[in-house]
Structure 1
């Protein structure tokens, strides 16, 4: 078993996420359809290797046409919408716990990314975004002469 360092901020973040999901309640939108007050946000994993950053977002039941990824000034933004199925005449819902509507997640990355070479794939409800790094600027040593 791997030893994992305790991060109290992660615990607080997880608790806050569970809290915000629990207090969101349904309301009528301007179109008359049921919507939620808080937009939902997909869960993501962000990993870094010496060559690239990888962002994987879970967005089940979302078509790839409904997902937009943009990179601007080192900020990666994932936007999209999960549409709720239309209510059928003979179907009565007893509980709806999944989130519907639009979502947006943004992440700041270091300046050493190559936004033009970024690639995104979408398979089985998981968006995978690979953003290569550029060659890191090496610090230049300057010799100081004593006069």
Structure 2
């Protein structure tokens, strides 16, 4: 299976579509009425891969306290919710530039195989969340030699 890099919506064709819609609204109404997609919210990047026995999800969550992260599985959907809280030492007036995203986030990931949710494990270290969920009924491949007899 080829590996494809996930591209946020604003890096894909949706960005150009949203820009065209935004231009149309501005032409008609004379002001911006549709928020740009990249300004909408923070979506932490995620990797999803499978091993012989598990589906593994790895998510970068820098500066997020593990107490502010909630992970749940419903059917074949893995939901990760949380919040990166602003540690504001200077106050809003003191900023020259602010590019980091803060606030709540939610990612819902369609797992690529049936899983045993009760045996899922999650760990959080150095700003990286790692979730391992056992695949249900995984098949261990082993070679069986069969003697062939003939006439």
* TM bracket (short chain): 0.5 to 0.7
RMSD of aligned residue pairs (Cα, Å): 3.4
**Normalised TM-score (structure 1):** 0.67
> How many residues get paired?
118
Relative to its length, the structure with more strand (as a share) is 1
Query: Which residue of 1 is the match for residue 87 of structure 2?
Result: 85
1:97 equivalenced with 2:99 (yes/no): yes
Structure label with greater radius of gyration: 2
Summarize deviations over 1:82-116 as a string: whole Å, max 9, x none.
01123536x72111000000000001124520000
Residue ranges of structure 1 left out of the alignment (5+ in a row):
24-35, 138-147
Summarize deviations over 1:45-73 as a string: whole Å, max 9, x none.
10111210100000000000000000001
Distance 1:98 1:53, change over 3 A: same
Q: Where does 1:1-147 land on structure 2 (aligned, <5 Å)?
A: 15-16=11-12, 38-88=40-90, 92-110=94-112, 112-136=114-138
**Normalised TM-score (structure 2):** 0.65
Distance 1:133 1:86, change over 3 A: same
Relative to its length, the structure with more helix (as a share) is 2
